[in-house]
Structure 1
Amino acid sequence: MPQIRIVKVVFDTIIQDFEIPSFRGAVIETVGRSHVIFHNHLSDDKLHYKYPAIQYKREGNHASILCIKEGVEEIHHFFINNIGQVRIGNKHTALMVKNVSIQTCNFQVSDEFFTYQIKRWLPLHGENYEKYISLDGLVDQIAFLERVMVGNILSMAKGLDWFIEEAVSVKITSIIKSNWTYLKKKKVLSFDLIFKTNVFLPYGIGLGKSSSIGFGTIEKATIKKLAI
């Protein structure tokens, strides 16, 4: 059961969801591409497939950065170099810090279940999407999404050097909405839903594909829908 530090930095800059990749680019430009942890690309521009220790998000309407584990140690490179305006899309703005929060989380598998809401989760890509749409019936589709979620949790844990030996359980209780969105100019299906799991997950972290740019963010469950 690892203890992991998490730092959340919220800026006074207002952004939209579609501007998060531009916000990420602005931070990377400020820090410099030599700091791989900010962009997860190796020197030959190949992806470094590891759970992102620095995640770019919106907190309310504000640009924010979530730093996990080694990301906490690396964020000072941004503060050292953040001395002027940055470009986010077509606008230039100064990234002024609105607030900073620090917490230490005990990741664990429990005998009880925790309820979460996840927003803009991307469980379906490539073969996963083809398998999903081929399923006959909502029950089978929900079960498929639950298996993907288990895989996302295990992948997150492995990226944080936490190798879970216990069985991980996930139960999707409500699908709030599903939307088509664009990721790297391709249409992808995202989900907002409520689920239960026996794994403790701190609010704000991301699960699944493109969690580094705000997809699949874990939040407190505040929307109640009829259980599936």
Structure 2
Amino acid sequence: MPIIKVIKITFDTNLKSSEIPKFRGAVVEVVGRQNVAFHNHISDSQFAYSYPVIQYKTTNGKASIVCIHDGVDEIHEFFTKNTGRVRIGSQFRPLMVESMKINSFDVGLTSTSHRYQINDWLALNEINHIKYQELEGISEKVQFLERMLIGNLLSFAKGINWTVGDPIILKITDIPSESTVKHKGIKFQSFSLSFKTNMYLPPDIGLGKGASMGWGTINKPINL
């Protein structure tokens, strides 16, 4: 099983969820657009379809960044250039570290299951949204979402340079919340749900569309 580092940095800057894209823009302005890991864009018109190793979030109303695997090394570029003040949208705000958590995780498949809660998960692109709506049975819809989630786990594994050799076992156990949200001006279905899987995952990482900007964040695993 691969051992990866994850750093969660929380700043003393108040930040609303709706301001996360502007926060990301502020960080990119500091490090420069040549650092693709900070924004996942190869060019203005070309997107890098890879798992984001630097993710922007809010933690208890404060700006935060989660760095995963290669992102741990990349974040040093920001700290060497950060002056403690950034422009978020049209406002200049202080940006000083309030807390930093550094952990190593044995990520991989285990003989036991782990239970997670994933919040505001954008599971479906436009094509899959149509397929999902065409399904009539609840069990069919759940199985469809399970396949999407397994796909997200494989994307994460690829992002940390891990080839998953054995089957991923995953079951959605509860879907307490489903809503329509806007991401980049486009409407998506957002799910907050519980699932269990034989893959051990670090807490605070994001899965699915918009993972780099706070969507699809998972909580701390619970062994079953």
Q: Which residue of 1 aligns with 2:198?
A: 198
User: How big is the shift at 1:65?
Assistant: 0.5
Paired with 1:45 and 1:207, the residues of 2 have a C-alpha distance of 23
Indicate conservation of the 8 Å contact 1:194/1:221, yes or no: no
Gaps of 5+ in 1: 223-228
Q: In structure 1, how many angstroms separate the alpha carbons of the residues matched to 2:68 and 2:221?
A: 22
**4+ residue runs of structure 1 moved beyond 6 angstroms?**
none
Distance 2:138 2:200 in 1: 27
After superposition, the CA RMSD in angstroms is 1.4
Match of 2:22 in 1: 22
Residue identity matched to 1:119: N
Distance, in Å, in 2 between the alignment partners of 1:45 and 1:144 is: 31
Q: Deviations over 1:27-73 (max 9, x none)?
A: 00111111111111114641111111101011121110011111111
Compute the displacement of 1:158 (Å).
1.2
Whether the aligned pair in 1 keeps the contact of 2:203 and 2:221 (CA below 8 Å) is no
For residues 36 and 92 of structure 2, what CA distance do their matches in structure 1 show? 24
TM-score normalised by length of structure 2: 0.95
Q: Percent identity?
A: 47
Change (3 A) 1:164 1:181: same
Is the contact between residue 154 and residue 164 of structure 1 (CA under 8 Å) also seen in structure 2?
yes
Relative distance call for 1:17 and 1:155 in structure 2 (3 A) is same
Alignment length (residue pairs): 222
Q: Find the aligned partners of 2:8 and 2:161 in 1 and give their Cα distance.
A: 21
Aligned to 1:33, the other structure's residue is in SS state coil
- In structure 2, distance between residues paired with 1:67 and 1:21: 17
- The normalised TM-score by structure 1 is 0.93
Counterpart contact for 2:207–2:217, Cα < 8 Å: yes
CA–CA separation in structure 2 for the residues paired with 1:10 and 1:55: 12
Instruction: Describe the superposition over 1:122-181 as per-residue Cα deviations: whole angstroms up to 9, x where unpaired.
Output: 111121100100001211111110111111101110121111011101111111211211
Runs of at least 5 residues in structure 2 that lack an aligned partner in the other structure: none
Asked whether the 8 Å contact 1:56–1:66 carries over to 2, the reply is: yes
* Residue pair 2:10, 2:100 contacting (<8 A) in 1 also: yes
What are the within-5 Å matches in structure 2 for residues 206-221 of structure 1? 206-220=206-220
Aligned to 2:102: 102
Mapped contact 1:15–1:62 kept (Cα < 8 A): yes
